[in-house]
């Protein structure tokens, strides 16, 4: 019994060491603990400095202190300060709300028309409609992002959440409006059809 407890304690200590990577002293305060999921689905923990508004990229430093710059072409997603970001059609989107049926994202970069390198070649980026700060719903059914604005709110929600009549009724009767977009996601994810 003592041996089993010792093994469990050692395993937990080893795991905790991996989970709490110590920040190298040479890194500036701009680097915060985070993780990346590469385009080849490899996950790495380390430290991230984001410069999304400046050039749509992040700088990642691993536990060994090696730095690498990533952009939308070589990442699936990344997380900093417990906030997740996804890469979709040459831009990054911040996760606002997630669930089992639909997620809500906010566009944080606009790379439309810019040259983006994927490591072997540079291409002119084509992105989603909309601008930085706009919201997008993503249905788990098709994974496409649907732009949601004040102007198209009712139409977009009706399209993405068509199988939840209670939600559609609330939107059409103006009981839920654009300012309550997070509530749309919560209600739809809890909707029993």
Provide the token pair at 37.
Answer: 């999921």
DSSP 8-state symbol, 22: P
| 49 domain-assigned | yes
Provide the pLDDT for residue 121. 79
| 42 domain-assigned | yes
Beta carbons within 8 Å of 163's beta carbon, 6+ residues apart = 191, 193
| 24 domain-assigned | no
| 10 domain-assigned | no
Helices 181-189 and 153-160: crossing angle in degrees, nearest 10, is: 20
Number of alpha carbons in the 13 Å side-chain half-sphere of residue 122: 5
Kindly report the pTM of this predicted structure: 0.82
| 130 domain-assigned | yes
Our count of domains for the chain comes to: 1
Provide the pLDDT for residue 105. 98
CA 91 – CA 73 distance, rounded (Å): 9
CA 22 – CA 158 distance, rounded (Å): 47
Q: Is residue 27 a contact partner of residue 54, using CB atoms and an 8 Å limit? A: no
How many Cβ atoms from other residues are within 10 Å of residue 160's Cβ? 24
Provide the pLDDT for residue 3. 41
Closest by alpha carbon to 83, among 101, 58, 54? 58
| 149 domain-assigned | yes
Please give the average per-residue pLDDT across 110-114, as a whole number.
77
| 113 domain-assigned | yes
| 177 domain-assigned | yes
Provide the token pair at 114.
Answer: 């810019």
Range of the domain at 147: 31-189
Provide the pLDDT for residue 172. 96
Provide the pLDDT for residue 17. 41
CA 111 – CA 174 distance, rounded (Å): 34
Please give the average per-residue pLDDT across 115-124, as a whole number.
74
CA 82 – CA 94 distance, rounded (Å): 11
CA 128 – CA 147 distance, rounded (Å): 8
- At 135-176, the pLDDT tens digits run 999 999 988 999 999 999 999 999 999 999 999 999 999 999
């Amino acid at each position: 019994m003592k041996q089993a407890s010792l093994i469990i304690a050692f395993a937990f200590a080893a795991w905790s060491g991996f989970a709490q990577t110590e920040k190298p002293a040479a890194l500036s305060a701009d680097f915060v603990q985070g993780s990346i999921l590469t385009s080849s689905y490899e996950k790495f923990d380390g430290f991230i400095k984001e410069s999304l508004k400046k050039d749509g990229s992040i700088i990642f430093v691993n536990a060994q202190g090696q730095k690498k710059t990533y952009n939308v072409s070589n990442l699936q997603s990344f997380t900093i300060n417990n906030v997740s970001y996804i890469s979709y059609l040459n831009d990054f989107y911040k996760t606002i709300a997630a669930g089992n049926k639909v997620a809500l994202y906010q566009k944080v970069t606009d790379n439309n028309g810019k040259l983006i390198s994927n490591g072997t070649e540079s291409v002119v980026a084509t992105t989603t409609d909309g601008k930085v700060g706009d919201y997008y719903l993503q249905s788990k059914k098709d994974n496409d992002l649907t732009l949601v604005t004040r102007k198209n709110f009712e139409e977009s929600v009706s399209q993405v959440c068509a199988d939840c009549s209670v939600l559609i009724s609330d939107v059409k009767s103006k009981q839920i409006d654009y300012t309550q977009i997070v509530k749309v996601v919560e209600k739809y994810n809890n909707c029993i059809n």
